[in-house]
Structure 1
Amino acid sequence: MFVSIVRTKNQLPDGFNQADISVTNFRRIEVGDMIKLEALRVFVTVAESGNIKDAADAVGRTASAVSMTLKQLEDEIGGPLFQTDRKNSLTALGNLMLDLGREQIRSFDKSVSIMRAFAHSRIGSLSIATVPSVAANVLPPILQRFLETRPQVQVELFDIDSAQVRRMVESGVADIGIAGDSRAGGGVEFSSLFSDRFQLLCREDHDLCRLERPIEWSDLSGATLIRNGASDRIEAEEHKRLSAQSLITVYNVTSLIALVKAGLGLTILPSLTMHGAHDGVAVLELADTSASRQVGLVERRDVPPSPIAAAFRAFALREIPALVAERLGRRKDQ
């Protein structure tokens, strides 16, 4: 870093006039007046030490090198910084230089510290768009661990459906997304985290609860099915026929559960969505094991992530699969 000492038009070097000062000429004239930050460090250290020997030891240079640096600095500034050669008493210019030098050094060191912290993902901002089930059941412990060593990182969390997750990531509003949609394409790419099976949600007094076995699609014949955005991705033809007959569509999980409790119908949701007990409702396994969704990271294609986003991506890929396997009572490789 350099500290530039700039002349005004009334302080031009001898032999130059205003007409001579083009941008190119001005830059050439001023090169000799650039003060290196390290020279300021040497001066401040000498001023604080009160002698060259101790200052030289502190900065790891020889006494002669320190003396030469001070001489060059005084030449650049245009006046003496110390009252005597013993360097234990500052001139008025030296006192001014000491105050300004300390300020410049503090500012530079702080800037470097901030840049290094950003590069090492210790500071910055992280915007995450995710589906509600992940926001409620996965991200709390994940973010708690991730932020333990990054207490100054700012996090913004969007709780939305998979389609909106893709749009927010693609538009750059969100740095990274977590969605139940494995389709790549457009401006995003998908990295799988875990597979999440669909389950049936019904009132706990429903006849299906007495079957004591996984539910077949045929068992739902004649039942009232409440559609939702997540279950629309199930590919089974039997499910598509049942969905086509549905007259109610609800996208909010809390509202879905309330309608099921009220006896308005059954619904099918990913198992992570129904993690934890809900009074008055039963969660039943489906016999069709292909009825599942792939949940993963959604990222912008060909756009390098910020350091903090890259750190979170690596952390999520490492930690989320194991956490979900534990939450759902499955082995990690299932």
Structure 2
Amino acid sequence: MTIGRFNIELLEAFVAVAEAGNVTHAGSRLNRTQPCVSTQLRRLEDRVGKPLIERNARTMNLTPAGRILYQHALDILRSHEEARLRLSAPELTGTVHVGLPEWYATGQLQSIFCNFVKIHPNVKLEMTVADSATLHDMLANNDINLAIALAGPGRAKSSTIVEEPLHWAASEDCPLTDPLPLIMFPEPCPFREQAFSALARAGRHWYERITTTSVAAAQVAVMSGAGVCCLPSGAILDGFRVLKEQHGFPKLPGTELAIYTQSKTQSPIVDYLEEHLNELLQNVTAQHSALAGKTQPDLRVV
């Protein structure tokens, strides 16, 4: 059987459906109508000669052929986007220093910065991973050029806000009876007051067993069963038990992150990187279901 040539727009529609979990959400992501996405999906299946998605009244699942094509489609679209950016990007030269919160310095997000310097080989990238309060101070002192940091009272927000849920996390063998052993971050971490207030409203009793400035250290402590920790979605690891209201843990408010730049000086590199991030964060933080595959933490951009 001969398979027809792949069309970028058809692959985009297929990947969007696989990652969004349904055609309607995929259409919103691509700014295309639902009938348009459905038609593009059927055209791609006609070219492949095999069904790519199994559909029933409630679910959509990738077929074996769909799972194979999904992995190749990701590579094709990534290469296509890199070529498009390289051809359309301005010539940039110099150094840019960016900051990321520790729990949010994921491989997927860091890959944005790595791709940025691949597209701009004459740009040197410096990266600082720290808590948001430190990043805001560094921005105010012009020690870094750009940061993705927690938005808070008195902080000007950019047009792109990433909303990320907070969760109670523990190991399977961690005791959940009062007084609860807590693993916490020191002030000025905003998670502290949110956790304490939620537990107080629920009538729970607790004590602070471990206090650490390191997200990695908190994750190890959680994994060891030392206590319960309040963590954003990006810091939840495989093997963690996420505790919900049915387990006696009150729902926590979400966190908001924003893109911030220096207060005094800007450069073409920073301007372009900020614009680049605003566009790409929408895809990075989108939930990836791949229909039958593993889902990522629930992040969304508003």
TM-score normalised by length of structure 2: 0.57
* Structure 2 residue ranges without an equivalent (≥5): 1-88, 289-295
Q: Secondary structure at the match of 1:310?
A: helix
State the partner residue of 2:270.
Answer: 309
Task: Spell out the pairing of 1:11-50 with structure 2 (5 A cutoff).
Answer: none
State the partner residue of 1:262.
Answer: 224
Q: CA deviation at 1:246?
A: 1.9
Letter of the 1:190 partner, please give it: K
Establish whether residue 151 from structure 1 lines up as the match of residue 121 from structure 2: yes
Establish whether residue 226 from structure 1 lines up as the match of residue 187 from structure 2: no
Q: Secondary structure at the match of 2:273?
A: helix
* Structure 1 residue ranges without an equivalent (≥5): 1-118, 209-219
Q: CA deviation at 1:300?
A: 3.0
Q: Identify the match of residue 282 of structure 1 among 216, 241, 244.
A: 241
Q: Identify the match of residue 318 of structure 1 among 261, 279, 289.
A: 279
Distance 1:239 1:298 in 2: 32
Q: CA deviation at 1:221?
A: 4.4
Q: Secondary structure at the match of 1:190?
A: coil
Q: CA RMSD in A?
A: 3.0
Q: 1:244 to 1:331 in 2, by over 3 A?
A: closer
State the partner residue of 2:97.
Answer: 127
Task: Spell out the pairing of 1:287-302 with structure 2 (5 A cutoff).
Answer: 291-301=253-263
Contact 2:178 2:206 in 1 (8 A): no
Per-residue CA deviations over 1:197-230 (Å, capped at 9, x if unaligned) read: 111211123466xxxxxxxxxxx74321111235
Distance 2:221 2:206 in 1: 19
TM-score normalised by length of structure 1: 0.52
Higher-Rg structure is: 1
Establish whether residue 201 from structure 1 lines up as the match of residue 160 from structure 2: no
Distance 1:236 1:249 in 2: 14
Contact 2:97 2:127 in 1 (8 A): yes
Establish whether residue 273 from structure 1 lines up as the match of residue 235 from structure 2: yes
Q: 1:299 to 1:135 in 2, by over 3 A?
A: same
Per-residue CA deviations over 1:95-130 (Å, capped at 9, x if unaligned) read: xxxxxxxxxxxxxxxxxxxxxxxx945211110111
How many residue pairs match? The answer is 198
Distance 1:184 1:121 in 2: 36
State the partner residue of 1:190.
Answer: 157
Q: Which has the higher contact order (CA 8 A, sep 6+)?
A: 2
